[in-house]
Amino acid sequence: MLTKISTRTKVLIACIIFSVLVIAVYLWVLTGILVIDTSPAGATVEIDGNFAGESPVRKRVFVGTHQITTVKSGYGTLILREIQVERGQKLEIKRKLPALIQSNPPGAEVYVDDEYKGKTPLSFEFQPGYHKVLLKKPKYVEVFKRFLVADMLMKPMPIFYLTPAETVYPVNIKSEPAGAIIYIEGNRMGETPKQFELPADQYSIRIFKDGYQEITDKLLIPGMKEYETVLEPLIFYGSISINAQPFAIVYLDEQKIGETPIELEKVPVGMHIIRLARPGFVDFKRKIKVEKNQKYKIGIKADEWLLK
């Protein structure tokens, strides 16, 4: 025998069905899902300023534009603006946390690969490869680091501790040609021309440029306000062995060198003209390209001379 359903029960069932429909509309029409992951994980995630959990985070949000903020100790703050979520969409976002460049005391100017980026504490996204970081702050010694960022999880950067500077003196270092690498006390400090501020002392300096002779010297601070040097090109040599029967006077690039037999031990690399002269005979000429560390032989027999 069927039990008659009361009006009150019918109303309750209708309300439940309506609520389910409202929730379904809310879930499908008005919201989407944000999945937020960071490398490394465990970052505090805020969506539109509200705490959403620690990464990885899965959160249902209203359709529209959102702002995501991630924070993790030892890393820079990552802010993603204008994140658009569509109806029923599952949007997955994965990001590597930026590095956090810190100094003690804070407020130091940060230069990455010789470009000013801001002041500490500074969030910065490094690309894979070698990078140079220079920190400057008035009345403190400059701090310079060179390191490799691999295409993988980057560990938190150590804090740069700035040492109060002694009285420092400016010195301007130049070279001709410019673009030579400067080493002071064995540390790479940049390229010429460059101005430094150094405490009073004596420093070893090395200036190097490909294709030129290396310069090693001493810097006396504060005695020197400017250090300028002219780099001499590196010259490479080959050798030429010359013989002639019965004899000949030898000219290298029209400069008399001597008589055969003769060994020319240090001939600069490049094109040269060898001329062998013998009274009553036509000069013997040979063009030769000398290459680094190569030895060449030139000779003429007695019956090869041509009478004038």
Domain ranges, ordered by start, for the chain = 7-96, 99-161, 168-230, 237-304
User: Which tens digit of pLDDT belongs to each residue from 139-171?
Assistant: 888 888 888 887 655 678 889 999 887 777 889
For residue 154, the model assigns a pLDDT of: 67
Instruction: Tell me if 43 sits within 8 A of 97, measured CB to CB.
Output: yes
pTM of the model: 0.46
CA distances from 127 to 106, 143, 148 (A): 24, 21, 10
Q: Which CATH number describes the domain made up of 168-230?
A: 2.60.40.1120
Q: Which CATH number describes the domain made up of 7-96?
A: 2.60.40
For residue 2, the model assigns a pLDDT of: 43
For residue 24, the model assigns a pLDDT of: 58
Residues whose CB is less than 8 angstroms from the CB of residue 274 and which lie 6 or more positions away in sequence, other chains included: 240, 242, 250, 251, 252, 285, 286, 287, 288, 298
Nearest Cα neighbor of 97 from 80, 69, 75 is: 75
Domain 237-304 homologous superfamily, CATH: Carboxypeptidase-like, regulatory domain (2.60.40.1120)
For residue 146, the model assigns a pLDDT of: 87
Q: Residue 164 corresponds to which tokens in the numbers above?
A: 């109060």
Does the domain at 99-161 match CATH 2.60.40.1120? Answer given as yes
DSSP assignment of the chain, as one string?
-PPPPPHHHHHHHHHHHHHHHHHHHIIIIIEEEEEEEEESS--EEEETTEEEEESSEEEEEESEEEEEEEE-TTB--EEEEEEEE-TT-EEEEEEEPPEEE-EESS--EEEETTEEEEESSEEE-PPSEEEEEEEE-TTB--EEEEEEE-SSPPPPPPPEEPPBP--EEEEEEEEESS--EEEETTEEEEESSEEEEEESEEEEEEEE-TTB--EEEEEEETT-SEEEEEPPBP--EEEEEEEESS--EEEETTEEEEESSEEEEEEESEEEEEEEE-TTBPPEEEEEEE-TT-EEEEEE-GGG--B-
For residue 10, the model assigns a pLDDT of: 62
Q: Which residues of the chain have pLDDT under 70?
A: 1-6, 10-11, 13-14, 17-29, 151-154
- Complete edge-to-edge strand list for the sheet that includes strand 57-62: 57-62, 31-39, 90-96
